[in-house]
Amino acid sequence: MSYSRKVLLKVIILGDSGVGKTSLLNQFVNHRFTDQYKATIGADFLTKEFVIDDTLVIMQVWDTAGQERFQSLGVAFYRGSDCCVLCFDVNDAKSFESLDNWRDEFLIQAAPQDPENFPFIVIGNKIDVDESKRMVSQKRAAAWCQAKGSIPFFETSAKEATRVEEAFYEIAKKALEQEKDIELYSHVAGLHFYLQGNERKCFIEELPSGSLVKGTGTEDYWAFREYRAEEWRSQENRYVVNSDIHIDTIVEVSAELPNRRVVIKQRGTSVGRFTFTAAHNGRHSICFQVYGASGWLSSNTLKMTLAISSGEVDEDGSKLVKKVEDISQLVRALNGHLSAIKAEQLYQREREAEFISANESINRRVLYWAILQLMLIGGVCYWQLHHLRQFFEAKKLV
């Protein structure tokens, strides 16, 4: 199925330890709940795809640790976020009072371009718990959200899946509202056609000046992202890429101008790609012709598969820079994750050493008291036997 565009959203969930961030994420992505969750180490993320208004949303949700010892890693995970979810437990007043700190820390660490309008969502979790144990009223939480700029507020239950999906869909909508020029290409045409011998085929594209056009693979060849010319093999009854005969593909792109100016003319292999920038407004013809290793093919039938994408030129390279920054950010996040794992491992080793020391101390005490009890029992037995013998001797029974 094709969509008007595809958008990758990075969403981060913040909140105190134990408020149910991991449970919410697993309920949304995997539709399951368990009481056996362990405290998150550093950060982790899950990904889910869904469609909103003909847009394929690929949501990458980062689940962060609420413990203080991991908060120094925040900058590695916060940067590049499209939306921030502030989560608290409605049965824990302290977790609600911490929302101010989490929000302020995120804005400092993430440093969004427009902090006043950056999208936040507030989730009050664990509404399935007995109402008598509730510490934060819905009115109080809603008032806080209103004071912070009308932040959307949801009360959820990860255990019972109450309003979990509704909250995350609202997160996606808020993030999409902030998205500008997410996709480089505004138009993608995927197609395949057939060429007989030295037949030449052309396609017409109406392009504005400054448009960037790319010829790549269709979604069927998404892994390759290259156009492909395949030859019909009657013995195999299918089309194949014939590398033995070195099929070349000529891509000629010309503009219908008074002097019919050729924008590019290139000859490539049977698998490749092309790129050009339209220097003038108007109709552009994109033509293809296949050439064989031993001259123009006379009888072979070939199938050409490609996608023609057009959009605005990234003149200042900002989109490329953003991609590089996103990659470097992910690398830093992974490094931070590894550092957090090492810190947790060191913490566990220290606890293990303390446990072993305490265990040895207990064993020594048990041994000491066991020996003392044996000595006491032996002394009592000796005393009883001694007095029993004296009794028998006094009665002249011995």
Phi first, then psi: what are they for 159, rounded to 5°? -70, -45
Distance from C-alpha of 39 to C-alpha of 322, rounded to nearest angstrom: 32
Distance from C-alpha of 192 to C-alpha of 301, rounded to nearest angstrom: 13
% pLDDT > 90, the chain: 19
Cβ within 8 Å of residue 196, ≥6 positions away: 299, 300, 301, 302
Res 279: pLDDT: 66
Of the candidates 91, 117, 85, the one whose C-alpha atom is nearest the C-alpha of residue 103 is 85
Distance from C-alpha of 278 to C-alpha of 59, rounded to nearest angstrom: 34
Encode pLDDT of 31-45 as tens digits: 888 776 555 544 567
Averaged pLDDT of the chain: 76
Give 264-300 as a 3 state SS string: EEEEEECEECEEEECCCCEEEEEEEEEEECCECCCCC
Three-class DSSP category at 6: strand
Question: For the chain, what's the residue count?
Answer: 398
Q: Chunk the chain into consecutive blocks of 10 residues (it has 398) and report each block's average pLDDT, rounded to whole numbers.
A: 71 88 88 68 71 83 60 61 91 93 88 85 91 90 92 92 90 77 44 69 70 63 57 80 56 49 69 72 71 52 73 53 66 76 86 90 92 92 87 73
Res 219: pLDDT: 45
Tokens of 132: 């008598």
Res 333: pLDDT: 75
Distance from C-alpha of 141 to C-alpha of 139, rounded to nearest angstrom: 6
Res 367: pLDDT: 93
Res 371: pLDDT: 93
What value, to the nearest 5°, has the Cα angle with vertex 81 and ends 347 and 183? 140
Phi first, then psi: what are they for 351, rounded to 5°? -65, -40
Res 294: pLDDT: 45
Of the candidates 264, 267, 311, 275, the one whose C-alpha atom is nearest the C-alpha of residue 292 is 267
Res 95: pLDDT: 92
Res 37: pLDDT: 57
Q: What is the pTM of this model?
A: 0.48
Check if 5-181 and 185-312 are the same fold: no
Does residue 177 contact residue 55 with C-beta atoms inside 8 Å? no
Domain ranges of the chain: 5-181, 185-312
Q: Which CATH number fits domain 5-181: 3.40.50.720, 3.40.190.10, 3.40.50.920, 3.40.50.300?
A: 3.40.50.300
Element of type H or E holding 380:
helix 318-394
Distance from C-alpha of 337 to C-alpha of 40, rounded to nearest angstrom: 11
Of the candidates 158, 154, 131, the one whose C-alpha atom is nearest the C-alpha of residue 32 is 158
Distance from C-alpha of 317 to C-alpha of 321, rounded to nearest angstrom: 6
**CATH topology for the 185-312 domain:** Jelly Rolls (2.60.120)
